[in-house]
Structure 1
């Protein structure tokens, strides 16, 4: 037998940063949809908040099938240009086009507008699945170091925070320059510009790891030699994965809380804060600062606490910092300082939890590999993507239903007291309940810091063994 002296390529610090630029593209699209699609549907397209919520919910029924299917497909992919990159590169232009169509307001009848919203949102969601599942799974090939993975997520989120800044701080001023916040053509121009930018960045990000995400010439031989894994065994990485269940509940409830506040932010500052939408800008700047600052601090933080204790502590903090906005709002006179303190503090807690949760999903895939003997990284990440979209949809459906029930009217400058109170409670009490549920879920998360270290050692030993096996043909 001949020796194959070509070692498997290892990721470098440069790979971490170049790969992470893709989250700028991802967050431009995700944050625009999460923050403004409800407002666009009600105030620009002209459909009711309730019907907008129905659109979001129906799309999730489709995702229940397409997301896990995409995860299985990615796990089985092994092409000449890698495992994850082909899907990102092929899906990015498709996603960019659907992003534009999502924020287009055709001159249809009311029924035609509702149908248009259904079709474009469902297809957009499918396009997002094609790009995001491989994008989120890709860090699994960059490193086995659990603390370092969290740092990669910190870099990833830092670039995402730039996109969040664009959306929260610059989107409205740019829309004003393009024709106005209530001008359909301005929204179309905005999405054309940033849809094109996002498409290019997605592709460049994927290409940056071309020497790490490579064709595995041994994969087919190994697959042939091993027993074919059944569909039931494949899905065991989800159904029998306690770590994944806990982190999905924790992330899902936290995401639900964040998305309720996020989707109603425009309504809150426009109606409850008497048109002070200019304040949204400062939230964006704070999020960006936090995102980049955590690149330095998150790895030593995780090494000290582990993800379980870290998330529990941050969720408890999120509950506390939401109280000032709730208390001043219930008194009937909003304090700008209290509101901004809450929103900026939540930007801090959300950013940390998002980093820890995304990294914990990758850990849960390894946890399944250790306990069940099945490697399904992309399938596990498909559940994360699905939960992400479900929480966005549920929050917007729930918010839309409450707004409709309390008499929201897009044609008036002042909403009813009942509607204003509903917006306040949705932005405060709703998130507090979500944070509490997240805290409880992580209490049952099976991986302590000690467990993370032990799992990392096992993964390193497996990599060494696989590398030794690959040296012999």
Structure 2
């Protein structure tokens, strides 16, 4: 009898993705509006605003491994990850609302209020997102199934951002009625409520998936055999087993992709304002690239099935992205051609980005196979390092790169225009080539992952 072919997507995969579609709004509202809220609506000086953002970003990055350590050590009856979904979501939602609420403080009090709210928002977000990513290996063990979950996550993520871009300005105006500060605050409150609801539905959906092993019952007079806690690990064991060749190669390759994304995102407004001289083209670029990202995410599982593996899918995605950026630099002297090529690159980006969590899940499987310890909570917290590294590198390149090319908005020279084109397309393309090389060296294929998973299951069966 012919084996029935499983469908690529499922209701559960989109329930998983839906959570990310709403949670991404926690960061999107901040990257889009927080700086202008602080300077225009609150009246904070630009220097103070920059200082708050800089200090808070550093603390945000440093908090990631500590969150992982706490989650690895903690024990809850309702699951290893599920309780953190609610704790993190509520914390992030409340403090995101407070970060867009002006209590009327001044001076140091004002800086402490907004800096503290920003930091606690991302502490909560990191907790919730670590639990969210930690559930993926439990919800989908097979690499192909993980690809579908990851793709659903990215489809919902891109859709959430697109809907935000369509309605956020209108909602701020509607809620504020001429009071911008109130408009921002009410939009943040609405987003917070939606995020909590999204995480609650995932909490209920995974009740039978994230299950803590019950203590073994014994007959009267029988010696009780201790049940091994596979999550138990010392701090040294967490660090020692986490830092492996697959982890370092993944971190390097994914950071190249992440840095490229943030460099391009940060410089897009400069390119269309000062090189093209038409801000309307920026809207075309943002809309077209978002649509293509959704499409790339959707086809990723089918691409993975065609090229037979997550690693190959990731490399293909990076290659498409790099090729489009290189072509944009060499052939894109015309703004329309440049925009089309840059946007087309996002098909490759989204294919690689959707495959990324599957790649990283294989690293987590490798760590468990190698060490015999289940370090998912700690390892999944480290997954958050990639966007943090990307943001840092992107900010560095944007800031120091513009200085290096001699950019001055009052006198934009031909050299500065040429330099912005290099920073916007040529440099990111080279970064992606480095990422491709690192991922070619990445040792974990889908077949290797399945073999490791089978061995892990055999070990567990032998302990019963």
Q: In which range does the TM-score fall when normalised by the shorter chain?
A: 0.7 to 0.9
> Which shows bigger deviation, 311-320 or 272-281?
272-281
Q: C-alpha deviations, 1:24-75, integer Å up to 9, x for none?
A: 1222223344455566666666778787665454335434543222213323
Contact 2:97 2:188 in 1 (8 A): yes
| Residue 393 (structure 1) shift | 3.7
Identify the range of structure 1 (356-365 vs 69-78) with the bigger mean alpha-carbon deviation. Answer: 69-78
Q: Which has the higher contact order (CA 8 A, sep 6+)?
A: 1
SS of 1:81's partner is coil
Cα drift, residue 298 of structure 1: 4.2
Name which of structure 1's ranges 164-173 and 101-110 shifts more when overlaid on structure 2.
101-110
What's 2:386 paired with?
387
From 274, 278, 287, the equivalent of 1:274 is 278
Aligned to 1:6: none
The equivalent position to 2:237 in structure 1, one of 211, 215, 233, is 233
Deviation at 1:401, TM superposition (A): 5.2
- Find the aligned partners of 2:48 and 2:424 in 1 and give their Cα distance: 21
8 Å Cα contact 1:89-1:202 kept in structure 2: yes
- 1:144 aligned counterpart, secondary structure: coil
Paired residue secondary structure (1:320): helix
Q: What TM-score do you get using the length of structure 2 for normalisation?
A: 0.81
Q: 2:291 corresponds to which residue?
A: 285
- From 437, 441, 444, the counterpart of 2:438: 441
Cα offset, 1:266, TM superposition: 4.5
Paired position in structure 2 for 1:9? none
The CA RMSD over aligned residues, in Å, is 3.6
Count of residue pairs the alignment pairs up: 443
Match of 2:261 in 1: 258
Q: How far did 1:259 drift?
A: 1.4
Q: 1:421 to 1:50 in 2, by over 3 A?
A: farther
Q: Retained in 1: the 8 A contact 2:304–2:313?
A: no
Q: Which moved more, 1:364-373 or 1:423-432?
A: 423-432
CA shift digits 1:446-472 (9 cap, x unpaired): 22x3xx3133133134325535755xx
The structural deviation recorded for 1:194 is 2.1
Structure 1 runs not aligned, ≥5 long = 1-11
Q: With the length of structure 1 as denominator, give the TM-score of the two structures.
A: 0.80
Structure 2 matches for 1:73-472, cutoff 5 A? 73-104=70-101, 116-172=113-169, 174-175=171-172, 183-218=180-215, 221-223=226-228, 229-239=233-243, 241-269=244-272, 272-276=276-280, 277-279=282-284, 280-295=286-301, 297-301=302-306, 304-327=307-330, 331=333, 335-343=335-343, 345-400=344-399, 416-417=412-413, 424-447=421-444, 449=445, 452-463=446-457, 466=460, 470=464
SS at match of 2:119: helix
Q: Provide closer, same or farther for how the CA distance between residues 41 and 287 of structure 1 changes in structure 2, counting only shifts above 3 A.
A: farther
**1:246 and 1:52, CA in 2 relative to 1: closer, same or farther beyond 3 A?**
farther
